[in-house]
Structure 1
Amino acid sequence: MAPEIFSILRRSCAVIALICTGASASAEPQHGIAMYGDPALPPDFVSLPYANPDAPTGGRIVNGEVGSFDSLNPHILKGTVPWQLASLGYESLMGRSWDEPFTLYGLLAESIDVGPNREWAEFTLRPEARFSDGTPVTIEDVLWSYETLGTKGHPRYAGTWAKVASMEQTGPRSVRFTFGVEDRELALIIGMRPILKKAQWEGHDFAASGIDMIPIGTSPYVIDSFEAGRYVALKRNPDYWGRDLPFMAGQANLDEIRMEFYGDSQVMFEAFKAGELNSLRENNAEKWDTQYNFPAVEQGDVVKSVIPHQRPSGMTGFVMNTRRDAFKDWRVRDAMIHAFNFEFINETMTGGKQPRITSYFSNSVLGMDDGPATGRVEELLTPFADQLLPGAMEGYALPVGDGSLRNRANIGKAMELMEQAGWSIDAGRMVNGDGNPFAFDILLPQGMTEEQSIIDLYVQALERMGITPTITTIDPAQYQERTNSYDFDMTYYRRGLSLSPGNEQKLYWGARGVTEPGSRNLMGMDSAAAEALIDVLLNARDRDDFVAATKALDRVLTTGRYVIPIYQWNVSRIAHAKELKYPERLPIYGDWSGWHPDVWWYEE
C-alpha cells in the first residue's frame, strides 16, 4: 500500500517554465486549472487517481465528534456547526484533486477560462447541474451565492470577495469574475465557493440561521435527520445530478454518513468499542498501540489502518493572545515555550512516539530549513530584518529538554527571559516592578481530556516559576463565541496547512484579524513581513519562488513564538469496521478532507 506521492509533484514542476506568460493563458475553456503548469489529468480522465470507480455503493459510516452543535449553516460566523457539513453538504464550480498540490477540475462548471495573466476567470455551468430538490442551478444562484457569502457570510469569504472588481453573466450558463488585484491564485479560489439556492433564502436572514432551516445544496448527500447537539445523519441522494461525472466516479459510495457527538474523547472511545461508531481517528500513538486491543480488534472485526501523507504538519498546541498585555512581549512568550516540558509531556502522553512540530510547515518541502536563511529566502527576509525576532535570519530551533520532570536548564532560561521582560520573583510569586503578579487564563472547551492532561503537567512547571494560571473550561458554544471575539489569554490551537498555501494565509495571519472578529488569527499577530511574504507566494512566477516565500513565511511565524507546539501527526490512524474499505492508491494529502469518507465504501 505504498502511496504514489511524488509522481504528481514531479509532473507539476516539469511544466513551470510555461506559466505566467502569454503562452500560459488558455486559448479556449479548459476542463481544469492548476496553480502552476497544467492539470495532471487529461480532459477524458475517468476518475480521480485515488478513487475506485468500481467501488460498490451502500452501507454506512458512523463517526464520532467531541463537542456539540447548534447550527446547520457552515457558511456564517454565528453558531457551532458540524465541520463536515461544509464539504459533504455543498459543491462548488470546481472540485479539488488531493493528489496534486493545487489543481481543480470542473464540477458544477464544465469549463474554466482565464485571462492572459489570470486577471479574470470565466466559468460555464453544466446544463445538468441540479440542487437536491431537483431544480436547476442557474447563473442567478451563482451570482447570489458569491455576493451573499462575500457580504453576509463567514469572514473567511470576505477577503476574496474584496478582490473581485466585477462579476457578470456572460452567457446563458457563463459567469465572469474580474479581479481588482494581481493575485494568480484568485482564479482557483473563486472556483471553490459553495453554491446555494437563492430562492430558499428569500425573506430569511442568511446571517442569523441556525437549525430551523437546512440549506439546500447540490452535493450527493442531504441531511436526513438530526438532533441538536447529539447527531446528524446524511443520506445519499438517489437522484444526485453528478453521479455520472468522471470527477465523482468512485466518490460518495456510502448510503449514510452519520456523526455522533460526545461530551469527551474517552466516552467517544468507549462508544466505538461498544460498536456505536464504526470509524474513529486516533491522535495518540501510545493509545493506538496499547488500548486498541479490545475483542473486536482481536477478532478482526475492527481494522487498524495507518495512512501516511506528505502535507505540512500545520500547527497544534497552545496559542498566546498578543492582544492581551500578558503576551505582548516576545520574551514572555519565549519563556512560556521554554517552560513547556515537551519531552517529559510527550513521554507521559504518547510514550515518546510522536515527533514534535518544529515549525508551521514542517514535515514538508515548504518547511523552513535549519540554520541561517540563505539564497532567495534570505533575500525575501532582508528588507524586514530590523523587525524580525531573533532566529528568523540566523536560524531557530525549539528548546529541547533533558526528559526529566524538573527540566532545569529550560526553566532557568525561562526565568532569565522573564527577568529581561521586567518580571522577577518576590515571595515566591512572579511579579513586575509594581508588584503585580504575572497571571493569565487558559481557556479550554469541555471534552478535551488529553489537552487538559497536558495543561495540568504544564501548570506544574509554571508553578515552579511562581506563576499560577487559571484554567477555564466551558461548553463548545461559549468557547466558539469567545475565540471568535478573541476573549482569551491562552487556548488550544490547531491549524491545518496544505501544500498550496494561498489567500487563506491572510485569514490565518493577516493584520485585519487583529481587530476583525472571526478570523483565524487567534494570536493577534501584526507582521508586515508576513503580509509581504504572503503577497509574494500568491504571485510567484515559478514554484521555486513560491517555495522560498513559504519557507521565509515559516521562519516569521515560528520565530514569532505565538504558539507552544506539541506533537505532530505525520500519519493518520483510523480504526474502522472491516467492511469499510478504501483504495490502495493514496493521494499525496493522505487522510484529508475529501478522502475520508468520500472515496471509502462498504463491502460485506
Structure 2
Amino acid sequence: MRPIPRRSFLAGAASAAAAPLLPRFAFAATPTGTKLHGLSAFGDLKYAADFEHFDYVNPDAPKGGTFNFSPWNWFFNQSLLTFNTLNSFVPRGDAPPRMEMCFDALMTGPLTGALDEPDAVYGLLAETVMLSDDRNTFEFALRPEAKFHDGTPLTADDCAFTFKLLKKEGHPNLMLPLSELADAAAVDAHTLRLTFSGEQSARTVLDIVKFPILSKAYFEANPFDGRGLKPPLGSGPYKVGHAAAGQTIEYERVPDYWGRDLAVNRGLYNFDRIRIEFYSERQAAFEAFKKGNIHYRQEFTARVWATGYDFPALKAGKVIKREFPAEKRPSMQATAINQRRERFRDRRVRQAIALCFDFEWTKRNLFYDAYERSQSSFERSDYKAEGLPSPAELALLEPLRDGIPPEAFGEAVIQPVSDGSGRDRKLLGAASKLIAEAGWKRNGRSVANGKGEPLTVEILVQDDVFVRIDTHWVENMKAIGIDASIRMVDSAQYQARQADFDFDILSMALSFTATPTRDDMESLFHSRSANLPGSRNFPGTADPAIDALIDAVGRAADRQSLVTAVRALDRVLRARLDWIPNWYSANHRAAFWDMFGFKEPKPDYGFPVEAMWWFDKDKAAAIGKG
C-alpha cells in the first residue's frame, strides 16, 4: 500500500468523523478483571455460566450412523470439487470442507457456537476469559482436561504457538485478523495471554477465539505448507478416517473426545461418521443423491429444483423436499472485476459490463423465478443501504467526498431493471456509450483503445452451470464490441488462478457473521488484502476511502453505530462497482433421505445440519436404510 498524500488526508478525515466510536468502548458493558464464561460484542449473553446446552439442540440425541452429504459452505482454502491437502489453514492447495471439525478453538467455533445469538461466543478450550482495564489484553484459563487425539495435553504453549504461526503463515482469513496481535504468551500450562496493539477492531477477539488450535509438537516435526495428505493432529470431536485425494473423505467421531460433555457440545456431533464425496459435475452429485449414496443436499440449481425432483424415492416418500428459512445474516453473491488489469480500472468499463447482464431475462428463462436480484454486498440484512444517506451516514461520508464516486451521496445505487427481452436496446446503448466515453472506439465488430488493443473479457468458471448462465451475458458484451468469452477450468486450476488473481472476472457467494467486523471486511475490500495471495479481495480494491470506512466499522461501539458504518461502506462499494451484485434466495432449498431427526425451528444464525441432526434408526429402517 503506497503512502500518498490523498490517502493520508482521507484516512485522517474519516478518523475525525468517526471520533465518537472509540476503541476504549470495546465490550463497554463487559466487566474487566472478572472471569467470564463468554463474550458478546453488544448486550448481555443469553446463556448463564451454568447453562446445560444450547436451546436449539437435542441434548438426548442418540449417537450413531453415517451422514453422507454435499456441503453447501466451506472455509479458508477448502473446495467442494476436489482436495489435495488436509491442511485447511494455509493459503494454497485445496482442502476438504469440514476439516475444522477436527480442531477445537478457545471458544465456540464457526459451525456450532451460539447460533441463536448474533455475536456471542462461549468457552470451549478456555473455561473463562478475563479482560484487562484497557481491553487490549485477554487472559484465558484453559481447561486442564483438554487433549489432542494422541492423548497429549493441549496447553497454553500450543495456543500461543498457533496464533504466532497463523499470523505469519496462515490463510489470509486467519492472518489478517491477527495483524494487530502484539503477543501471544503462555503464562503457565493452562493460562494464555493475548495482547493487542490497541489498533485492533473492537470485535477482533470474537473472530480469533474461533480459530483452530494446532499442536506445537506436530508442526515442529511437520511442515506447515499443505504438502501431502497426512492429517494434522487435532483435538476436536472428529478426526480424519478414510481419505482418497479428490474423491472421498470420512470424518470419524472421536468416542473419547475430551469435550463431549461440555455444555457447548452437548447434543452436537451425533453421527459416528461424516462422509463427503467429491464430484466434478453437479448432475453426477444429484444422481448419487437420487440413488441414496448421498443423504442430504441443498439445491442451488433452480432448474433442477423446479423440474428434477420427480424420481421414485421422492414419490415414495423416502426423500423429503422442503425449504428452511435462511439465516439472519448479511449475504453477498457478486461478480468481481479484476482491476489489477488496467482495462478494468475505469468505472465506466465496469458499469458497461454490468449493464450487459440481463437479470430479468435470466430469472425467467434460467432461474424459474427462484431468485431475486441482489443489490448489495450485505443483502437480506439491516446493513444494506436504502434510499438517501442518513445524517449519521453522511457524517462518515462527507470527509471522504473528494475520494469516492458522487453516486454514493444519492439514492443507494441499484442495478437497472431490463425489459426482460434478453437484448434490452436501452441498456446496451447506455453500455456502448460508457465504453466510448472510456476511450474504446469501434474497430470493425470490436472496440479497441488508442493502441489498437481490443477490450477482452474472460469469465472464469469451474462449473458448467455457470457456462449456461453466463453465455447470454457474453453474447450481450459481444453485441457492444467487447471480445468476451468463458473459460471453464478444473477445480485445482480455478483455486490456483483465484489465489494468484489470474482472471478477468469471477463470481463468489458468501455470508458474513450476523455482527460484521472489520476483520470480515479486510479480506474482501481493504488495501491490505489487495495483493495478498489467497485473499478474497478479488477486484483488487485498494482505496483509502474504503479503508477508512472499514476502520469505522471496527470502531463501532454499539449495534446502531455498526449498522450506520456498514451502510456507508455499502453505498461506496455499490457506487464503485468493483463487484457486480448477482442474485439471492430467501431460503435453503434442501432435500434429504428421511432417516434423520432434528429439532425445529432451526436457529437464526447458522444451519450446521451435520453437527445438529442425528441418525434415526426407526426412520432409516422404514425406508430400507437401517
Report the TM-score range of the alignment, normalised by the length of the smaller protein.
over 0.9
Deviation per residue, 1:268-298 (Å, 9 max, x gap): 1111111110111101344223211211111
Cα deviations by residue, 1:28-83 (Å, 9 ceiling, x for unpaired): 11110001122111111111121111212111111236521101100111210113
Equivalent of 2:471 in 435, 451, 456: 456
Q: Does 1:493 align with 2:508?
A: yes
Residue 27 (structure 1) shift? 4.2
Question: Does the 8 A contact of 1:234 with 1:256 survive in 2?
Answer: yes
Per the alignment, residue 380 of structure 1 pairs with: 396
Helix, strand or coil at the partner of 1:386: helix
Query: Secondary structure in 2 aligned to 1:116?
Result: coil
Instruction: Give the structure 2 partner of residue 574 of structure 1.
Output: 590
Structure 1 residue identity aligned to 2:66 = R
1:218-367 equivalences in 2 (<5 Å): 218-367=235-384
Equivalent in the alignment of 2:103: 90
Find the counterpart in structure 2 of residue 81 from structure 1. 95
The residue type paired with residue 550 of structure 1 is V
SS of the equivalent of 1:193 reads: coil
Aligned to 2:55: 49
Structure 1 CA distance for aligned equivalents of residues 427 and 133 of structure 2 = 55
SS of match in other structure, 1:245:
coil
Paired residue for 2:431? 414
Deviates most, 406-415 or 18-27: 18-27
* CA distance in structure 2 between the partners assigned to 1:100 and 1:466 by the alignment: 50
1:392 equivalent in structure 2: 408
In 2: Cα distance, 1:455 partner to 1:94 partner: 42
Q: Which residue of 1 aligns with 2:173?
A: 156
Equivalents in 1 of 2:579, 2:232: separation in Å? Answer: 36
1:580-591 counterparts in 2 under 5 A? 580-591=596-607
| Contact 2:526/2:550 (8 A) holds in 1 | no
Q: Distance in 2 between matches of 1:73 and 1:564?
A: 32
2:531 is the counterpart of 1:515: yes
Whole-Å separation in 2 of the counterparts to 1:160 and 1:358 = 27
Deviations 1:446-486 (A, max 9, x none): xx122111111111111211223232222211211111111
Partner of 1:525, secondary structure, is: coil
Q: Is 2:131 aligned against 1:114?
A: yes
Is 1:169 aligned to 2:192, yes or no? Answer: no
Q: Do the aligned partners of 2:377 and 2:581 also contact (CA within 8 Å) in 1? A: no
How far does residue 434 in structure 1 lie from its aligned partner after superposition? 3.4
Inter-partner Cα distance in structure 1 for 2:161 and 2:28? 33
Mapped partners of 1:432, 1:356: distance in 2:
33
Alignment partners' CA distance in 2, 1:216 and 1:199: 9
Which residue matches 1:28? Answer: 34
Report percent identity of matched pairs.
Answer: 34
* Alpha-carbon contact 1:49-1:585 (below 8 Å) kept: no
SS of alignment partner, residue 176 of structure 1: strand
2:288 and 2:131 map into 1 onto residues whose CA distance is: 50
8 Å Cα contact 2:306/2:368 also seen in 1: no
Which one of the candidate residues 187, 193, 199 is aligned to 2:211?
193
Q: Which amino acid aligns with 2:524?
A: Y
Residue 202 of structure 1 pairs with residue 220 of structure 2: yes
Alpha-carbon distance between aligned partners in 1 of 2:597 and 2:613, rounded to the nearest angstrom: 6
**1:4: which partner in 2?**
none
Distance 1:360 1:391 in 2: 16
- Which range moved further: 341-350 or 250-259? 341-350
Whole-angstrom CA distance in 2 between matches of 1:540 and 1:199? 39
Larger CA deviation: 150-159 vs 402-411 = 150-159
| Deviation per residue, 1:472-528 (Å, 9 max, x gap) | 222211211111111111112223222221112111111022222111101101122
Q: Which whole-Å CA distance do the structure 2 matches of 1:117 and 1:190 have between them?
A: 19
User: Deviation at 1:253?
Assistant: 0.6
What RMSD over aligned residues (CA atoms) do the two structures have, in Å?
1.8
Q: 1:411 to 1:29 in 2, by over 3 A?
A: same
Tell me the secondary structure at the aligned position of residue 305 of structure 1: strand
2: distance between equivalents of 1:174 and 1:49? 30
- Does 2:472 correspond to 1:472? no
Deviation of 1:103 after TM superposition, in Å, equals: 0.7
The aligned residue for residue 577 of structure 2 is: 561
1:159 Cα deviation after fit: 2.2
- Find the counterpart in structure 1 of residue 621 from structure 2: none
Which stretch of the first structure deviates more once superposed, 582-591 or 26-35? 582-591
Normalising by structure 2, report the TM-score: 0.89
Residue 453 (structure 2) pairs with residue 439 (structure 1): no
Q: Which residue of 2 aligns with 1:61?
A: 67
Q: 1:215 aligns with which of 225, 229, 232?
A: 232
Between the aligned partners of 1:390 and 1:476, the Cα distance in structure 2 is 39
Q: Could you tell me which residue of structure 2 aligns to residue 13 of structure 1?
A: none
Contact kept? 1:311, 1:499, Cα under 8 Å: yes
Task: Using the TM superposition, give the Cα deviation of residue 249 of structure 1 relative to its aligned residue in structure 2, in angstroms.
Answer: 1.0
Q: Distance in 1 between matches of 2:383 and 2:340?
A: 29
**CA-to-partner distance for each residue in 1:409-429, whole Å, 9 max, x for gaps?**
211111111111112323221
Post-superposition shift, 1:20?
4.8
In structure 2, the CA distance between the partners of 1:485 and 1:22, relative to structure 1 (3 Å rule), is closer
Structure 1 residues 357, 312: CA separation in 2 closer, same or farther (over 3 Å shift)?
Answer: farther
Q: Tell me, what secondary structure is at the counterpart of 1:425?
A: strand
Q: Per the alignment, in what secondary structure is the counterpart of residue 42 of structure 1?
A: coil
SS in 2 for 1:398: coil
Unmatched tracts of structure 2, length 5 or more: 1-23, 72-79, 618-626
How far apart, CA to CA, are the structure 2 residues paired with 1:285 and 1:214?
37
Paired residue total: 579
- SS of equivalent to 1:248: coil
Give me the whole-angstrom Cα distance separating, in 2, the residues matched to 1:479 and 1:392.
33
1:316 is displaced (CA, Å) by 1.8
After TM superposition, the score normalised by the length of structure 1 is 0.92
The answer on whether the counterparts of 1:79 and 1:210 sit within 8 Å (CA) in structure 2 is no
Q: Does the aligned pair in 1 maintain the 2:102–2:237 contact within 8 Å?
A: yes
Counterpart CA distance in 1 for 2:405 and 2:268 is 46
Deviates more, 1:72-81 or 1:165-174: 165-174
The one-letter amino acid of 1:56's match is P
